[in-house]
Structure 1
Amino acid sequence: MHRRAFIASGLTALLAADAARAVSPRGPAFDPVVVRTRADVMPGELHVLPSAYMLYWTMPGGTAMRYRCGVGRPGLYESGEFFVGAKKEWPSWTPTPEMIERDPAAYKQYEDGMPGGVDNPLGARALYLFEPGRGDTFLRIHGTNAPNTIGSAVSNGCARIINDEIVDLYERVPLKARVVLHPKTI
């Protein structure tokens, strides 16, 4: 097994065990909370566990901040390793050509973009995911103006958390931070 895949699968198992203890898709059980990790988990990384709808910001001392998230719909979620290449407050949003092609009734009206604000689907903040050699992947970890979508797979590939939580996460995560979007396991 490739070393990175082995490390990622071990971290997935570690963090998934925490996510399995949560019993309700809504409410205080999913408020951001500090959880324990193995001491050897590298601090300063984001990990999304799509099957558990959890996002972790790893911190020193074997801890992580856990956030409940929403993820991409089947066929649109892209696992892999990325880095935060840009950060924006109240970002503007433009649907990709693929989004417009998939659902022109929903997205064609925004092909020239939508300014940032409370009605914008990227919410209050966005972390832009990049890959070396590829640049911007058009994947984001962002806020949402639809908090009822947290804990579900409804997006066009991005991970989302509620606006208050993305403001908190945005302050914690520096540019160039490593991001792992783990494969779906269910």
Structure 2
Amino acid sequence: MLEALNHQGKFGEDYVRALASAAGLLTYDFDLDHDGIDLGIRFPGRLHGVASPGVEVQIKSSSQSRIKPSASEWNFTGLNEVQFNRLAGDDFTVPRLLILVRVPAESSAYVEFRTEGMLLRHLAYYCSLRDEKPIERPDRNRRRSVRVPTANVLTIRSLLDLVRAVQQPARSSA
């Protein structure tokens, strides 16, 4: 059996994969988590003049007791400065997002089986750090707080909208 934090992290990634699958999107893994990305998510085909638009995501999971809610956002402190920099800024070829999957404190409550199907707990939220400035001298030992809007619930519709929002690349006039 997986150690508790690895179990929680794997569940968080599989939660996002299940949503992408339900949305009809493709997911892909990187052979090494060297660039701070856990999962790539793509539209299978062309959309608005873009071939295979997609996003890349860093997935973090947290039990309710490990993040502080306010009325409109989660204050997530689970990124160190190096991880933050791998998501911050607007100079990535493929848009990057942070996905926060809230999970129960007990792994036995991750899923519930009902007559009508299986229920995954709890919810996932997303945010872009595109408008954030990367930290000049990042330190793995320092944490960087990120505010994740509670309105940004990751659903089939919102995931499709995030992938569809990818803009057509500028064509060079050679």
TM-score range, shorter chain: under 0.3
- What TM-score comes out, normalization by structure 2 length? 0.26
